[in-house]
Structure 1
Amino acid sequence: MELRALHSEAKPLKIAALCGSLRKASYHRGLLRSAIELSKSSVTGLDIEVVDIEPLPFLNTDLEVDNTYPATVEAFRKKILEADSILFASPEYNYSVTAPLKNAIDWASRPPNVWADKPAAIISTGGGFGGGRAQFHLRQIGVFLDLHFINKPEFFINAFQPPAKFDSEGNLIDESTKERLKQVLISLKAFTFRLKGKDC
């Protein structure tokens, strides 16, 4: 059987998607919804699941008992461990990542570090630089966690420059931005297979 046929029959890559914004109508949630739609149409072979970080308690090692974590934390860590790669939708707050996202990152980094050797990508939107400084900080954090980020294409979008990128409910409506997001997913897919030692 040809290699391409083998891959077409293989299980899709499991992508754990994390949104750094807790706001229900946030543009970053809209980006992830669009990524899921793209994975069902034009970028096949991906199974993107948004992993909710809102229920996680604030990191407190007093909550670690007999080398176990609270149930919500254990469930979150399991999702990260089982993922083939990670997609971060990261807003920029004060030149950095948001508190909820940093909290999630820290919980999953507790021993054993379940981020280790995961391929990852970052998508951001907002005003000004479109979240680029938060991405730079997240990449710095990833160095210590052994996360391997794709370098290109970069994806940080100014949400407020015309044409309109999102509707009033936070859904991505700009086709050129969707195409850029598609290229991120293609790159993440290829990089994930590359780290696994396989062809995509």
Structure 2
Amino acid sequence: MEAATGMAAPTAPIKVAAICGSLLKGSYNRRLIRLAIEMSKETINGMEIELVEVADLPLMNVDLEVDGALALEVEEFRQKILQADAVLFASPEYNYSVTPVLKNALDWASRPPNVWAGKAAAIVSTGGGPGGGARAQYHLRQIGVFLDLHFVNKPEVMLSVHNPPGKFDDDGNLVDPKSKEKLRKLLISLHNFALRLRGPC
């Protein structure tokens, strides 16, 4: 769409809701989201990432829906997802799958109307095992099929904390240049994919 002057109208920024599947304040996955937020501000024009907390969501229970109304915490969470153009998940791996807190958030936001539907999404993960959270990522992609989430396929960001050592500093911050560049490319892919899904202004 063009403005009346004939100049192209400015494109609204891509708003990204970032969700961490770990409740640990110092978790490696939470630090990846913080790094993504910093990267988006420094190197990616037109992308705004907001960390959306899920710790206060009650356990999924349809008995908590009263005459179609949801608990305030749930409704506020759903509205943040609804207003976002895309979603960035930081998904630890628990017992070969996604964490309970992440699954709980996925389930609440899928209640009719499903506010995940049609959104671009990306996943980052890190963990102590050699796979770096790979199994959790693949399970999350399976869940996303039903939720109608559209995941970026490449690059895959699955980082092992210990193998090889040195990717993270003693405070849990990612310092490995190649891994940081992979994360930056993932964010660019998410931004571009979200723009394509948004369509012409």
* Matching of residue 105 in structure 1 with residue 102 in structure 2: no
State the 1:198 CA deviation.
4.2
What is residue 176 of structure 1 aligned with on the other side?
178
What is residue 144 of structure 2 aligned with on the other side?
142
State the 1:197 CA deviation.
2.0
Structure 2 CA distance for partners of 1:42 and 1:70, relative to 1, 3 Å: same
Superposed counterparts of 1:13-92, under 5 Å: 13-92=14-93
State the 1:60 CA deviation.
1.0
Deviations 1:4-50 (A, max 9, x none): x847x333110000000000110001100110010011122110000
- Are the equivalent residues in 1 in contact too, given 2:167–2:176 (CA < 8 A)? yes
What is residue 119 of structure 2 aligned with on the other side?
118
Deviations 1:122-178 (A, max 9, x none): 111112111111111000000000000011111111111234222333222222211
In 2: Cα distance, 1:75 partner to 1:167 partner: 35
- Are the equivalent residues in 2 in contact too, given 1:33–1:171 (CA < 8 A)? no
Structure 1: gaps (5+ residues): none
In 2: Cα distance, 1:56 partner to 1:118 partner: 21
- What SS does the corresponding residue of 1:40 show, helix, strand or coil? helix
Number of residues of Structure 1 aligned to a counterpart in Structure 2 = 196
Structure 2 CA distance for partners of 1:18 and 1:6, relative to 1, 3 Å: farther
- Which amino acid in the other structure matches residue 70 of structure 1? A
- Which amino acid in the other structure matches residue 152 of structure 1? K
Deviations 1:99-132 (A, max 9, x none): 0000000000011100000110011111211111
In 2: Cα distance, 1:34 partner to 1:6 partner: 32
Give the CA RMSD over aligned residues: 1.7
In 2: Cα distance, 1:40 partner to 1:112 partner: 32
- Are the equivalent residues in 1 in contact too, given 2:130–2:163 (CA < 8 A)? no
- Are the equivalent residues in 1 in contact too, given 2:18–2:87 (CA < 8 A)? yes
- Are the equivalent residues in 2 in contact too, given 1:122–1:135 (CA < 8 A)? yes
Structure 2: gaps (5+ residues): none
- What SS does the corresponding residue of 1:157 show, helix, strand or coil? strand
TM-score (norm 2): 0.92
- Which amino acid in the other structure matches residue 132 of structure 2? G
Q: Percent identity?
A: 60
Does 157-166 or 63-72 show the bigger shift?
157-166
State the 1:62 CA deviation.
1.1
Structure 2 CA distance for partners of 1:19 and 1:6, relative to 1, 3 Å: farther
In 1: Cα distance, 2:21 partner to 2:28 partner: 11
- What SS does the corresponding residue of 1:128 show, helix, strand or coil? coil
Structure 2 CA distance for partners of 1:159 and 1:198, relative to 1, 3 Å: farther
